[in-house]
Amino acid sequence: MKVRIFESSQEATHEAAALFIEQIQRKPDCVLGLATGSTPIKLYKELILAYKEGTISFKRVKTFNLDEYVGLDRLHTQSYYRFMCEQLFDHVDIDKRNCHVPNGQAKNIEREVMQYEAAIEAAGGIDMQLLGIGGNGHIGFNEPGCNLDCGTHLESLTRQTIQDNARLFFNGNEAQVPRQALTMGVGTILRARRCVLLAFGKSKQVAVQGMIEGPITKNNPASVLQRHPDTVVLLDTLAAEKLKKKG
């Protein structure tokens, strides 16, 4: 795990954008794993800018998102599919047939999660996976206590995640946050060839310290990234504050 600490979230985001731009330039038909939430929004803006300047094209890029709420129509204002369209897909030359987000409305969840894993494999696996981290250490929606080997599956959201998501989205209304989601598993994430994790701000301090300096434990699912051969963690100074070793 390579850890880099930046003065500001803008600088860390700029570095993440440089990694994704370089990945797309090096392999124009690469497979990207993408994330939602507040953290990657500015990164997507930088990628849109790079596309508009002619630095990169998404024409042959394939994407797989980490997760989706169960029960929301994909065009619901808070669905992760809609989030991705608004924050990235609608602003670049990507072919939407190449954009994959788990179907939270699938009638047969078992089949949906198996097909999602199969689609990732058929695409050749994920070249670069973008990750955020929850205040409780979750990656994707793999909540504390999850199985650290599993593939895409159905997960029940913890109270903290429901509160966090209501604060940032759903107009603050906790009752509207779905209680379950489909998520790539920790096993799926570990199979990505490279992971780039972004974490900013005070609310991530404890989770970040545990991920980097704690034991590998299902109580902090992100800690399993210590086992991944090529993970880059990009932090702002605030998120890094509780780290004992800062360089």
- HEC profile of the chain: CEEEEECCHHHHHHHHHHHHHHHHHHCCCCEEEECCCCCCHHHHHHHHHHHHCCCCCCCCCEEEECEEECCCCCCCCCCHHHHHHHHCHHHCCCCHHHEECCCCCCCCHHHHHHHHHHHHHHCCCCCEEEECCCCCCCECCECCCCCCCCCCEEEECCHHHHHHHHHHCHHHCHHHCCCEEEECCHHHHHHCCEEEEEECCHHHHHHHHHHHHCCCECCEHHHHHHHCCCEEEEEECCCCCCCCCCC
228 in active site: no
Question: Which CB, 191 or 204, lies closer to ligand PGA?
Answer: 204
Active site (annotated) includes residue 136: yes
C-beta closer to ligand PGA: residue 98 or 136: 136
CB of 102 or CB of 132, closer to ligand PGA: 132
CB of 67 to ligand PGA, least distance (A): 9
91 is catalytic: no
Q: Minimum distance between the CB of residue 107 and ligand PGA, rounded to whole angstroms?
A: 27
Phi, psi of 129 (to 5 degrees): -110, 120
The binding site for ligand PGA (CB under 6 A) comprises 37-39, 132-134, 168
Q: Closest approach of Cβ 17 to ligand PGA, in Å?
A: 16
**Residue sitting closest to ligand PGA (CB):** 37
Residue placing its CB nearer to ligand PGA in the complex, 114 or 150: 150
Of the candidates 68, 98, 138, 236, the residue annotated as catalytic is 138
Q: How far is the CB of 198 from ligand PGA (least distance, A)?
A: 8
Point out the residues that are catalytic. 67, 136, 138, 143
